Amino acid sequence: MDDTELVSLRRTLHKRPEPAWREFYTTATIVDALESLEADIDELYVGPDALSGDHRLALPPETELEAWYEQATQYDVDGDVLETLEGGYTGAVAVIEQGDGPTVGLRVDIDGLPRTEADNGTHEPALEGFRSEHEGAMHACGHDAHATIGVGVIDEIVDSDFQGTLKVFFQPAEEVIGGAKSMAKSEHIQDVEYLLALHIGLDHPTGEIVAGIDGFLAVAHLEATFSGEPAHAGGRPEQGRNANQALAAAVQNLYTIPRHSDGQTRINAGLIEGGSAANIIPEESRLVAEVRGETTELMEYMREHATRILESAARMHDCDLEIELGAEAPSATSDQALVSIVESVAGETPGVDNVLERDQLGGSEDATFLMREVQENGGLACYVGIGTDHPGGHHTSTFDVDEASLRHGVDVVTGALERISQERPSA
Amino acid sequence: MDDTELVSLRRTLHKRPEPAWREFYTTATIVDALESLEADIDELYVGPDALSGDHRLALPPETELEAWYEQATQYDVDGDVLETLEGGYTGAVAVIEQGDGPTVGLRVDIDGLPRTEADNGTHEPALEGFRSEHEGAMHACGHDAHATIGVGVIDEIVDSDFQGTLKVFFQPAEEVIGGAKSMAKSEHIQDVEYLLALHIGLDHPTGEIVAGIDGFLAVAHLEATFSGEPAHAGGRPEQGRNANQALAAAVQNLYTIPRHSDGQTRINAGLIEGGSAANIIPEESRLVAEVRGETTELMEYMREHATRILESAARMHDCDLEIELGAEAPSATSDQALVSIVESVAGETPGVDNVLERDQLGGSEDATFLMREVQENGGLACYVGIGTDHPGGHHTSTFDVDEASLRHGVDVVTGALERISQERPSA
Amino acid sequence: MDDTELVSLRRTLHKRPEPAWREFYTTATIVDALESLEADIDELYVGPDALSGDHRLALPPETELEAWYEQATQYDVDGDVLETLEGGYTGAVAVIEQGDGPTVGLRVDIDGLPRTEADNGTHEPALEGFRSEHEGAMHACGHDAHATIGVGVIDEIVDSDFQGTLKVFFQPAEEVIGGAKSMAKSEHIQDVEYLLALHIGLDHPTGEIVAGIDGFLAVAHLEATFSGEPAHAGGRPEQGRNANQALAAAVQNLYTIPRHSDGQTRINAGLIEGGSAANIIPEESRLVAEVRGETTELMEYMREHATRILESAARMHDCDLEIELGAEAPSATSDQALVSIVESVAGETPGVDNVLERDQLGGSEDATFLMREVQENGGLACYVGIGTDHPGGHHTSTFDVDEASLRHGVDVVTGALERISQERPSA
Amino acid sequence: MDDTELVSLRRTLHKRPEPAWREFYTTATIVDALESLEADIDELYVGPDALSGDHRLALPPETELEAWYEQATQYDVDGDVLETLEGGYTGAVAVIEQGDGPTVGLRVDIDGLPRTEADNGTHEPALEGFRSEHEGAMHACGHDAHATIGVGVIDEIVDSDFQGTLKVFFQPAEEVIGGAKSMAKSEHIQDVEYLLALHIGLDHPTGEIVAGIDGFLAVAHLEATFSGEPAHAGGRPEQGRNANQALAAAVQNLYTIPRHSDGQTRINAGLIEGGSAANIIPEESRLVAEVRGETTELMEYMREHATRILESAARMHDCDLEIELGAEAPSATSDQALVSIVESVAGETPGVDNVLERDQLGGSEDATFLMREVQENGGLACYVGIGTDHPGGHHTSTFDVDEASLRHGVDVVTGALERISQERPSA
């Protein structure tokens, strides 16, 4: 694929972003792209064949899945592929066998975010006509670029000196930390000896590469439902048990969990809703929160406090509480042997003018599930940062990528895979 | 209409409840029922002709109106009537001219509530097959019975000794205090010399009538939108401005407004929502609240404090705030001359075994707009309570009425109107 | 006592206010005043002999009692009397036997408040040199006037046509609702057939008398102690369990207890303290709150919610909680027979230019303990309001009384007692 | 001084702990101890001569100073010295001139904490009879040991090969970050070329030395006073403006300031108080808080948010606010040249069995003022950790030191000073 084709694929994906487990059009489009490559894909696992369905985390409601599926059916994509995906079995694994050598993996994620994209004269996608057509959804974290790089690497690897088996994991549902576990529990990862994952941007400019990213915060989601008792707010306020008050007390106090001297922690009550009308004492409310920690222990510290606070807030306002533990991901570390290879390859890649050996993510990523699986099987893993100028921050409505970095991603990753297949480093 | 017909109409309405300004099917069904009566309606004003469109308060979003309108079109009702109502011009005014005499009005409200109806073996509507077909909406305050009584009174008045003009106001959007003002600002109310309004239930058992209800709490709605700044909750929490935190601080503190020694006050943060995902610092949140007071002054006291608290909560978490003042209604008093007539008539009505002269509502009602309009024009007004055994409280999922009280309502009101036309009392 | 003597006694008491159970100088001064009267007091019970020591509520710490006692010993009062009072046995009961007739009681309270008195050119006590010498304490509710009226009534009754036995209860510790129960449980109240109590001011101007005051809010105090765990706030914040956070969550939420449609309720977290230094996670905090209700049931409703909120706030921040139930008082009603006598007498009293039959207190008073005791024994009770112009509100630093009303109080009460002894009304 | 004498001095100080700026007995005792040494002190600056009086931060109220001064006068210490200290001019600087060489400084702090010491069978000071005689005050951070080591070093240095001038700064008021600035602004520090400071414990066991401690959190104090309006809580709750509610909203929200991805931050609302009585709407409340950050920028981030939250909380409850900015301290770093010397000396010191080159404090220390002053003047500074087994954590009631570590402190510091005077390292 030349630069124009990379840009074109990225824009195609950008225009129709789909949030976690709803990547129907996205997966089908990736499959289309793979099948249009000159090279033959040796094996292509799609949907339920690409992952362990029972380990999908943080699935949306059925009605959501159906609505997005329905939408996808109206686009010009392969209906047979779509049907395979129905019910939220999105994603794919593509396999290239190219001579004798190790089995190496590349993981790219493909989902969008529930966010409305900016629509003004300074936002490139709006200017150039590839702004999200799905109002309220947006590729605000660059996964459109990731998927594109994944396809680009396959295209390039067949012309390289790579020897061995390459598996590219097009992973769904990263944004809800929901997809990696199902791929980590599939058979496809089990024989992977070396795994690369990548992310674009992260405040690194175009031309800068981070050979090994660490500092993945362990993360867990909690969904709390407060159930009270409705009552007429004017006539009988004392007969109500107010679920919005319980939620407000919870939100106020969740953010007060003591900071920890062992390292960074995080808390966010990202989504709330409750009550039905101004004149009814609110009967039910719901809160989706996440906790994070520099280590899994710190994350657990946060989760324990958060749970106690939720319970106390419910009791404080005489409400019942149900807590559903949602998705979670561990932390992980990039192995030095791979970091060194990436660093060296990046230094020789055209367009790359700065290489950092290591940097901290300071966020979470469920790639850690796959990295840990490979590492626990005796393999090595490394998470690579591909710098790109991005006008708005990640997850904001003005996020965008510098499309020049698509090529950098393809080249650095392909080069590193090639070298890994030759050097077969050990820990 | 005999008892069976009253019950049948009430159940027809109960089955398809429509919230405020969405009473498309309801209005069309009432028009159908009026046109099926033996008696001729002299004038029938529907939709935009029944009210002052500009004075409609608390309108829902266009998309809501459209979805409910769309639904109504699928029912077997008069399409021409429906078309008149499109855009949220619901309700009707029916006029009967019957000889020389005063112009009297009867106001009944017709809207449902955004509440899911109970569905179990003890809930009569579920047992008897007329439970709400509109999941999430319910006649949980008896307005189905009110509308039925309104039709029943017209049917009965033509056979009575009533002399004069009767106008029945089938008022939309009482539950959001949104409809009465638009009828109070229409021409129809201007020549009304005597006005009755009624409510069923209110914790009074079947067979009990309250001749004059007072104690209407003045009420006002506030809708607050907090706007912050999104950010990645793991990577850059400090770059966010958290709209959910602002809302939580607001809800916590709204309920703390000091009680007032001059009388009862109320506050409710009935509806909240905010944020988009667990991992994004919430950028926007919304709160719909109401304040009430035994007098308009007490309501204003609450509104002033609530406004200051909302502003401070926004500032506390560095968010912007927009407050939209919503619907509001004054308080009102039933005139003694009418109370005495109702009391006397009720005492002679079959099935009525207890009559209270006065009682307190302890809630709000936008009937007060119409009552005040009539009173300010020199007329008299009275708000009548029709007892009915109701298993669940008003606005709860198990609310239901004892259908025997439909007849009591029709008889007491018709009798009172008859007597009023004869006695023409003055204040 | 002439007007000058009344004023003089009131100012003597005003200058040295003593809070609840610390009325050492005050009691001794009252005893002095009684002994200086021309009339002989037949029996005088002081301190432990005036009340049931075991039923004293809301006693302050020993050290407080000692410090105030110590201070009193430095004034020119009878040392023997003082000694009797040591340990917080304050107050007195004076008995006058004057021929055959019923036993009637008059209750006046004598304690000051923990409040700093205003000290500026518009505050009469400051101008006239009788501002509180006890910095931080103040007669901000007129009990100095009450005690003075009590003495004045005894002086006047001996020259009146009163026939029977008069007992004047100089009651301590009203402000903490702590003293009346101990007098209600003493033998002195047991044979009282008619009881008057009085209060000056209450927003009624000089010259206005309220014959019977009702609307006493039932009240109860709660003292909560939160115990956490200290830790260095910089080095190990996660090791603390923060008692100030628990208290803040409690205060925030106590004020949110739903208003009750059955009547007025109150809540106040009047006194808080916690922690030891800026850099230590606060280990202990304390909260003194009160709840009130128009009826005892409403007060219990508030207390139940308050208790649950305190418990939940403690748990929310992982603290232990101890709740000490403090003083409490019921509600009570003035008997009509006595109200009528007071109304009639007041109408004939010089200087009184307006008489209201009834008014609502809207606050609490532990006189209700004594009123209920008398009423339960078959007697009658009445609480009289003596109007006085007061520049600042009750309990504020600029409160003061119009000394002309001292005479009104003495005359109305003496006249009423005289009439009661003659008429011996029954319920 | 032999070990017994070190222990004896430490216990003498431990028994009579004095909080910040109240170290009257402590300073006088140190002066006594210095004058009892065999060696002559060349210059001894006491009280106002030891510091810049105008730069004392976080002074307590006059009455506090007076009460503690009064107490000190009752002990057997030099009255002339005491008089010098009156008014909160505590601390001392002792100077030893010993031949040609650089001017080096040693800083030890001397104040206690407002904390009640444990009194049970496992707390050594209680068992051995040197528990605090000042109830409510305690040497809970080992400054008694610091002062003792300061004296011990002077005693030992005169017998060492140290060549140059040694200044020992016995610094008051570290716990309130109040004393160091006044010494940093005095003339005594201006010619110091090398500065050592030390702290005992910090979770390092007896026998462990940390050559250079870093990670001082920048810190600032804020004292907020909320002023509202009192009112009778039962009678006129609406007339109050509730300062306790304002404070509770502030405390709740202060702890919610977003964590920062640039590094550690801290917040603590360590001390609160408000209101006067259960039945008065609280008129005034006070809050002493501190904010910290890994860098001064992070501390400023916290202070800015805290200020906005305090202002909003006041406004939310209609109160006025006054914020007094209190003490603050920057961060600082130990210079490698000195760290290397301390590390090397410690490795050769008897009793020392483990030496760490560097560790993080994770707390704050106003020694940073002195370190920065020396560093800005071109000198070098180093903060040394002296391990000691301590049963309870710093600032808790069971804190205690293993007295064996007194000798380690004296030896390591004396050895390091000796070596510094010989090597005269440069940055």
Could you read off the pLDDT of A35-53 as tens digits, one per residue? 999 989 999 999 999 999 9
CB-based contact, B264 to chain C, within 8 Å: yes
pLDDT band at A332 (very low <50, low <70, confident <90, very high): confident
pLDDT of D360 higher than 90 = no
Q: Is A267 helix (H, G, I), strand (E, B) or coil?
A: strand
Of B253, B261, B265, the CB nearest to C362: B261
pLDDT in tens, B221-265: 999 999 999 998 998 999 999 999 999 999 999 999 999 999 999
Closest residue by Cα to residue B147 from B329, B6, B350, B339? B6
Task: Name the pLDDT band for A161 (thresholds 50, 70, 90).
Answer: very high
Cβ of residue C252 closer than 8 Å to a chain A Cβ:
yes
- The rounded distance, in Å, linking the Cα atoms of C242 and A309 is 13
Any D CB within 8 A of A261 CB: yes
What's the number of domains chain C is made of? 2
Kindly give the parts of chain C with pLDDT less than 70. Answer: none
Residues D13 and D134 in one domain: yes
Chain B residues inside the 8 Å CB shell of A393: 231-232, 236, 239
Is the CB of A255 inside 8 Å of chain B's CB atoms?
Answer: yes
Instruction: Give which of B85, B191, B159, B176 is closest to B417, Cα–Cα.
Output: B159
What is chain B's mean pLDDT, rounded? 95
Q: What is the pLDDT of residue A126?
A: 96
| H-only helix segments in D74-227 | 79-85, 124-127, 143-157, 180-184
Average pLDDT, integer, range A119-131: 94
Regarding whether B233 and B110 lie in a shared domain, the answer is: no
CB contact under 8 A, D256 and A259: no
Q: What is residue D326's predicted lDDT score, i.e. its pLDDT?
A: 83
pLDDT for B146-163, tens place per residue?
999 999 999 999 999 999
Given pLDDT bands bounded at 50, 70 and 90, which one contains residue D364?
A: confident
Looking at CA atoms only, how far is residue B219 from chain C in angstroms?
A: 15
**Radius of gyration for the alpha carbons in chain D, expressed in angstroms and rounded:** 22
Structure confidence at residue D306 (pLDDT): 98
Rounded to an integer, the average pLDDT of D176-185 is 94
Contact: C268, D280; criterion CB under 8 Å: yes
User: Which residues on chain A are in Cβ contact (under 8 Å) with B393?
Assistant: 231-232, 236, 239
Q: What is the DSSP string of D41-101?
A: PSEEEEGGGTS-GGG--SPPPHHHHHHHHHHHHTSSS-HHHHHHHTTT---EEEEEEESSS
Cα-only R_g, chain A: 22
Locate the chain C residue with the closest alpha carbon to B360: C261
Query: Among the three residues A298, A329, A360, which one is the final residue of a domain in this structure?
Result: A329
Which of C329, C364, C398 is the last residue in one of the domains? C329
Q: Single out the residue in C311, C329, C347 at which a domain terminates.
A: C329
Q: How many CB pairs under 8 A join A and D?
A: 25
Let me know: does D287 contact D223? Beta carbons within 8 Å: yes
Q: Are residues D18 and D92 in the same domain?
A: yes
CA A372 to chain centroid: 16
| pLDDT tens readout for residues C139-156 | 999 999 999 999 999 999
Q: Residue A427: which pLDDT band, with cuts at 50, 70 and 90?
A: confident
* pLDDT at res. D68: 97
Confidence of residue D221 (pLDDT cuts 50, 70, 90): very high
Confidence of residue D98 (pLDDT cuts 50, 70, 90): very high
Tell me, what's the pLDDT at C235?
A: 87
Is the Cβ pair A312, C313 closer than 8 Å?
Answer: yes
Q: How far is CA D20 from the centre of its chain?
A: 8
**Measured distance CA(C259)–CA(C251) in Å, rounded:** 16
Contact yes or no for A352/A310 (Cβ under 8 A): no
> For residue D215, what pLDDT band results from cuts at 50, 70 and 90?
confident
B41 and B178, same domain (yes or no): yes
Give pLDDT, residue D302. Answer: 98
Question: Cα–Cα distance between D310 and D287 in angstroms, integer?
Answer: 10
D292 touches chain A (CB under 8 A): no
Confidence bin at D235 (pLDDT 50/70/90): confident
> What is the spatial distance between Cα A241 and Cα A314, in angstroms, rounded to a whole number?
10
SS3 D390: coil
Interface probe with D: pick from A257, A259, A267, A294, most Cβ of D within 10 Å: A259
**% pLDDT > 90, chain D:** 91
Residue B94 binned pLDDT confidence (cut-offs 50, 70, 90)? very high
Q: Tell me, what CATH number does A381's domain have?
A: 3.40.630.10
Q: Residue A121 pLDDT > 90, yes or no?
A: no
Q: Answer yes or no: do D308 and D228 share one domain.
A: yes
Look at the block and give the residue holding tokens 């047979």: A80
**Hey, is the C-beta of A393 within 8 angstroms of any chain B C-beta?**
yes
Residue B190 has pLDDT above 80, yes or no: yes
Rounded to an integer, the average pLDDT of A97-120 is 96
The whole domain housing D277 covers 221-329
Cβ–Cβ gap D276/C292 under 8 Å: no
Residue A122, SS3? coil
B395 touches chain D (CB under 8 A): no
Interchain pair D238, B249: CB under 8 A: no
Res. B121 pLDDT band, cuts 50 70 90:
confident
Q: Domain holding D226: CATH number?
A: 3.30.70.360
Q: Is B264 in contact with C261 (Cβ distance < 8 A)?
A: yes
Q: Look at strands D103-109 and D164-171 and give their pairing.
A: parallel
| Residue D88 and residue D44 in contact, taking contact as beta carbons nearer than 8 Å | no
DSSP state of D238: G
CB atoms within 10 A of CB A314: 26
Mean pLDDT for all residues in chain A: 95
B87 and B99 in a single domain? The answer is: yes
Compute the half-sphere exposure of residue A232: CA atoms within 13 Å on the CB side of its CA.
22
Q: State whether A313 and C316 contact (CB < 8 Å).
A: yes
- If asked whether residues D24 and D153 sit together in one domain, one would say yes
User: Any bridge partners for residue D285, and if so which?
Assistant: D226, D274
Distance of CA A13 to the CA centre of its chain: 15
Tell me the nearest-neighbour CA distance from A292 into chain C, angstroms.
Answer: 15
Instruction: Determine how many CB atoms are found less than 10 A away from the CB of residue D350.
Output: 8
Contacts of A249 (CB under 8 A, 6+ apart): A313, A316, A317, B248, B252, C249, C252, C253, C316
C-alpha C345/C-alpha C340 separation (Å) is 9
- For residues A1-10, average pLDDT: 97
Q: What pLDDT does residue B328 have? A: 87
Q: Residues B60-84: what's their mean pLDDT?
A: 96
Whether residue C266 lies within 8 A of chain B, CB to CB, comes out as yes
Q: Does A326 touch chain B (CB under 8 A)?
A: yes
- Residues of B whose CB is below 8 A from D253: 245, 249, 316-317
A183 with A72, same domain? yes
Q: Which of B205, B141, B191 is nearest to B399 (CA)?
A: B141
Query: How distant is the Cα of B322 from the closest Cα of chain D, in angstroms?
Result: 17
Report pLDDT for C427. 73
Contact A293, A265 (CB under 8 A): yes
Q: Are C317 and C352 members of one domain?
A: no
> Counting one residue from B and one from C, how many pairs have CB atoms under 8 Å apart?
25
CB contact under 8 A, B264 and C264: yes
Q: For residue B258, what is the nearest residue in chain C, using CA coordinates?
A: C255
Nearest C-alpha of chain D: how many angstroms from A384? 20
C-alpha distance across the termini of chain D, in Å: 34
pLDDT score of B215 = 85
Residues A419 and A371 in one domain: yes
Confidence band of D54 (pLDDT split at 50, 70, 90): very high
Residue in D272, D281, D289 closest to C273 by CB: D272
Are both A249 and A191 inside the same structural domain?
A: no
pLDDT tens sequence across B95-117? 999 999 999 999 999 999 999 99
Q: How far is CA B134 from CA B13, B75, D30, in A?
A: 11, 13, 84
**Nearest CA-CA distance, residue A176 and chain C, Å:** 28
Q: Do D261 and B236 touch (CB under 8 A)?
A: yes
Tell if the CB–CB gap between C256 and B255 is shorter than 8 Å.
yes
Facing D252 at nearest CB: one of A252, A259, A261: A252
Question: pLDDT tens digits for D245-277?
Answer: 999 999 999 999 999 999 999 999 999 999 988
Residue C196 structure tokens: 């008057």
Q: Contacts of residue C316 in chain A, CB cutoff 8 Å?
A: 249, 253, 308-309, 312-313, 316
pTM value is: 0.81
Same domain for C230 and C108? no
Phi first, then psi, for residue C14 (nearest 5°) are -60, -35
Predicted pLDDT of residue A80 = 96
